[in-house]
Structure 1
Amino acid sequence: MKKCTSFLLGLFLLGCTHQKENQELAHRILENQDFREVKKQALEVVKTGFNAGDGYGEVWIRDYNTFIELSAEVFDAKELEKNLLVFFRLQGEDGNIVDGFIPKKKAENVEGGYIYIYSDLEPDYCGHKNTVETDHETSLVQAVYKYIQATGNTEFLQKKVGQSTVAQRMEQAIQFLLDYRWSKEHGLIYGATTADWGDVQHTHPWGVYITEDTHYCVDIYDNAMLLIALDNMMKLLPETKDKWQEIRNTTAENTMATLWNAENQKFIPHVYLEESPYPDDFNENEIYYHGGTAVAIEAGLLNKEQIEVSLNKMVANVKASGAGSIGLTLYPPYPDWAFENKGMYSYGYQNGGDWTWFGGRMIQQLVKNGFVEEAYEQLLPMTQRVVKNDGFYEWYTVDNRPEGSGTFRGSAGVLYKVILLLEEWAESKK
């Protein structure tokens, strides 16, 4: 009896300690002045438009998907709807979705660069598609889901674009991936060889278009994005569940069977449809993909123990590289010779640059999976540099210097959302 009483007392005291620690963390979250400033700045930045940031003329779907919820805080729902409809009006007959769109008049003044896509359904804009990437279709489905979650406008799904409704066009977009980007051998969608979630392939000086030199592969980012899109679509269109649920489940199983390295508790960067573009003495599997891992967690592929291991690896990579945050794209970076695009040098751009745009998504998943204190700790470097540099920069160098657009709306969107998640948790612990 005494042993039982002592055990129960120990549990009670442990619970009290845990409660006190939660309350102290909640207080720190709610009193953090940087968080308040970042939220304020995020709202101001998103008020100014929908393009990715200064230096970008286009509205990109992979970016818009990550700040449409923030846009819903300051824009009327009809404004958000207009942008989504442009993507559907520019949809290809095969179901493919463009990467981004730009006013036709601006496109006429651009020399070289993208091959623009036009449609009779869209009078004002033309589009372009970075064909090396395979996340445009899934990003649009996710963006529609977030739009409806934020506005409650389920009628949008039945809006006609040409002869098809938005709901039908969403399914057509996913079907495009199954028809034209599907590896039967692996039961997964494929794309070109890029760095983690990047849209620059290893070959060609620019690297945004598939060429005869493209090496196709399956990777974790694209397939995790597909899983999230399928989950979103089935929630929006429950009548389609019989069609998509089995594909979703099989894709999840194949993703872990093909891409998860259980021994090293990490995702394999690329599994090639044919041969690797890299020499035999280069061990690509040593590289750890931060962004793809974060999206895999969002897709529900990793359990809590695996999430903790993943976070520990990311933190260790940050320490080893000297980077500023777990937004570090990957580690170690690919050698300078691995990409023809000169901006993809080691620790440059998507090859080891530090991107809040994806680091913030990892932190969102930490909160959602119960790693709240860890989320708070990993968020601090990101919010501190927004305040210090007075802007949401596109990416940071390994020594934490800001690069690219200073009004990168994707960064603003993910930071705003993670702060809201932390504040909601903190309010529940008061």
Structure 2
Amino acid sequence: MRILITIVLGLVLLGCKDRNENKELAKKVLSNQQFDAVKKRALAVIETGFNAGDGYREVWIRDYNTFIELSAEVFPPEELKENLLVFFRMQGDDGNIIDGFTPAEAITKEETDFSYFELEPRYAGHKNTVETDQETSLIQAVYKYVKTTGDSSILDVEIGDKTVAERMEWAVQFLMDKRFSKEYGLIWGATTADWGDVQPEHGWGVDIDGNTHRAIDIYDNAMLIIALDNMLEIIPEIKDQWLPIRRRLAKNAKNHLWDSKTQKFIPHIYLDGSPFPEDFNENEIYYFGGTAVAIEAGLLSKEEVKISIDEMVSRVKQAGAGSIGLTLYPPYPAGYFANQIMNPEYNYQNGGDWTWFGARMIQQLVKYGFVEDAYEQLLPMTDRVIKNNGFYEWYTVDNKPEGSGTFRGSAGVLYKAILNFEEWANSHNE
């Protein structure tokens, strides 16, 4: 009896300690003036447009997907809706979705890598075919639009001979028809660095060609799983067709891509051989962004999420980087990518530090209850927004800003991460 009483008292004291610690952290969050400043700057950046940022003229779907919720704070729903409808009007004959669109009159005669569509003559479309996330990004963006605005009428809008809801299914069917490996039960893309859009083989590196090495990675498949979850929630009548596919994708992703021995996702499964030297051990590389998106897709247990954030923090320290926005670690050796933007090491997607993905991991840490870890890892991201007076596209390993200084994707995900914190803090500040 005494042992039982001791155990009960211990649990009560532990619970009190946890509540007190949560309350203290909640006060820190709610009194953090930096958070308010970052949110105000994010709104100021978002209200200036929909292109990815200065230096980008296109409206890119992989970016728009990450700031459409923030855009809803400053733009009327009809404007957000119209952007989404443009992507569906420019859907390919096989169901594929473009990367981005730009006014047709802005395209010069020398620019030939653009597509034109009868249903949307105002714009020219562009697609980096090495990616396999355009279709899933658009579906996720539609879901966020519906949930944020409450306007589900977009699903019934007719474009050509199909409604938007039917076109969403068609986009997924494109992936199943054109990018699906029957051997592994997962979708594939070109070999890239984690979530990146540059293949190593040659040149600019954004188009699949005869030099491409097809590969399966966790990012593309996690994005598809999230898109299917989103689609099933807002179009529940398609459950019988797509839910079994979603379940098989999740099972196959965990079975084939999660290395239970090292407790991390392997970078790639190659379908036609690797583009890298035979003696290169690619599995030493840790993919930060793909892991964050996999957690969002519900592929890891709470214990595995904790293992993942601890590993990320450890590797950030090894790299000497500024935040868990680090793309990957260690980086691919210099010379492994023909496109010089990926060389030297720690440049761009080859080990650059991107809040665009780091803040998504913060969101998941809050969701899974690792709030102290999340708070500690968020501060470097908000600090540099204030210090550099902008939402930069990426940062070097020594935390210097690079790329667009108004990168809306970074603003969108960081704003949402802060909102997640404030929601948690308000519920624990009693």
Q: Specify the TM-score bucket, using the shorter chain as the normaliser.
A: over 0.9
Matched residues in 2 for 1:406 and 1:33: separation? Answer: 22
Map of 1:233 onto structure 2: 231
Matched residues in 2 for 1:360 and 1:219: separation? Answer: 21
Please list, as runs of the form range in 1=range in 2, the aligned pairs for 1:332-371 lying within 5 A after superposition. Answer: 332-345=330-343, 346-371=345-370
Question: Residue 107 of structure 2: SS of its match in structure 1?
Answer: helix
Map of 2:194 onto structure 1: 196
Matched residues in 2 for 1:427 and 1:285: separation? Answer: 41
Map of 1:123 onto structure 2: 121
Question: Residue 323 of structure 2: SS of its match in structure 1?
Answer: coil
Map of 2:385 onto structure 1: 386
Map of 2:99 onto structure 1: 99
Q: Where in structure 1 are there 5+ consecutive unaligned residues?
A: none
Show CA shifts across 1:36-76 (max 9, x none): 10000000000000000000000000000000000001100
Q: Would you say 1:134 and 2:155 are equivalent positions?
A: no
Map of 2:73 onto structure 1: 73
Matched residues in 2 for 1:140 and 1:158: separation? Answer: 16
Q: Quick one: which amino acid aligns to residue 235 of structure 2?
A: L
Map of 2:218 onto structure 1: 220
Map of 1:53 onto structure 2: 53
Matched residues in 2 for 1:132 and 1:17: separation? Answer: 50
Q: Give the deviation of 1:107 after TM superposition.
A: 1.6
Q: Give the deviation of 1:4 after TM superposition.
A: 2.9
Matched residues in 1 for 2:106 and 2:370: separation? Answer: 45
Please list, as runs of the form range in 1=range in 2, the aligned pairs for 1:280-299 lying within 5 A after superposition. Answer: 280-299=278-297
Matched residues in 2 for 1:421 and 1:17: separation? Answer: 23
Q: Give the deviation of 1:16 after TM superposition.
A: 1.3
Matched residues in 2 for 1:108 and 1:86: separation? Answer: 21
Q: Give the deviation of 1:12 after TM superposition.
A: 1.8
Map of 2:264 onto structure 1: 266
Q: Give the deviation of 1:11 after TM superposition.
A: 1.9
Matched residues in 1 for 2:265 and 2:185: separation? Answer: 17
Matched residues in 2 for 1:191 and 1:219: separation? Answer: 8
Map of 2:184 onto structure 1: 186
Map of 2:423 onto structure 1: 424
Matched residues in 2 for 1:418 and 1:55: separation? Answer: 25
Q: Where in structure 2 are there 5+ consecutive unaligned residues?
A: none
Map of 1:21 onto structure 2: 21
* Kept in 1: contact 2:54–2:407 (CA 8 A): yes
Matched residues in 2 for 1:6 and 1:136: separation? Answer: 57
Show CA shifts across 1:241-274 (max 9, x none): 0000111011111111111111000111010002
Q: Quick one: which amino acid aligns to residue 227 of structure 2?
A: A
Q: Quick one: which amino acid aligns to residue 420 of structure 2?
A: L
Map of 2:371 onto structure 1: 372
Map of 2:403 onto structure 1: 404
Matched residues in 2 for 1:99 and 1:204: separation? Answer: 21
Show CA shifts across 1:178-203 (max 9, x none): 00011111111000010000000111
Question: Residue 125 of structure 2: SS of its match in structure 1?
Answer: strand
Q: Quick one: which amino acid aligns to residue 118 of structure 2?
A: D
Matched residues in 2 for 1:6 and 1:243: separation? Answer: 53
Map of 1:257 onto structure 2: 255
Map of 1:304 onto structure 2: 302
Q: Quick one: which amino acid aligns to residue 33 of structure 1?
A: Q
Question: Residue 279 of structure 1: SS of its match in structure 2?
Answer: coil
Cα RMSD (Å): 0.9
Matched residues in 1 for 2:348 and 2:359: separation? Answer: 17
Q: Would you say 1:164 and 2:135 are equivalent positions?
A: no
Q: Quick one: which amino acid aligns to residue 86 of structure 1?
A: V
Percent identical: 67
Show CA shifts across 1:135-175 (max 9, x none): 00000000000000000001110001111100000000000
Show CA shifts across 1:272-306 (max 9, x none): 00211111111011100000000000000000111
* Kept in 1: contact 2:315–2:329 (CA 8 A): yes
Matched residues in 1 for 2:311 and 2:7: separation? Answer: 35
Matched residues in 1 for 2:51 and 2:175: separation? Answer: 25
Give the aligned length.
428
Question: Residue 252 of structure 2: SS of its match in structure 1?
Answer: helix
Show CA shifts across 1:337-395 (max 9, x none): 11000010110000000000000001100001111111111000000000000000000
Question: Residue 335 of structure 2: SS of its match in structure 1?
Answer: helix
Q: Quick one: which amino acid aligns to residue 53 of structure 1?
A: G
Matched residues in 1 for 2:281 and 2:158: separation? Answer: 50
Question: Residue 336 of structure 1: SS of its match in structure 2?
Answer: coil
Q: Would you say 1:12 and 2:1 are equivalent positions?
A: no
Q: Give the deviation of 1:6 after TM superposition.
A: 2.8
Q: Would you say 1:415 and 2:414 are equivalent positions?
A: yes
Map of 2:38 onto structure 1: 38
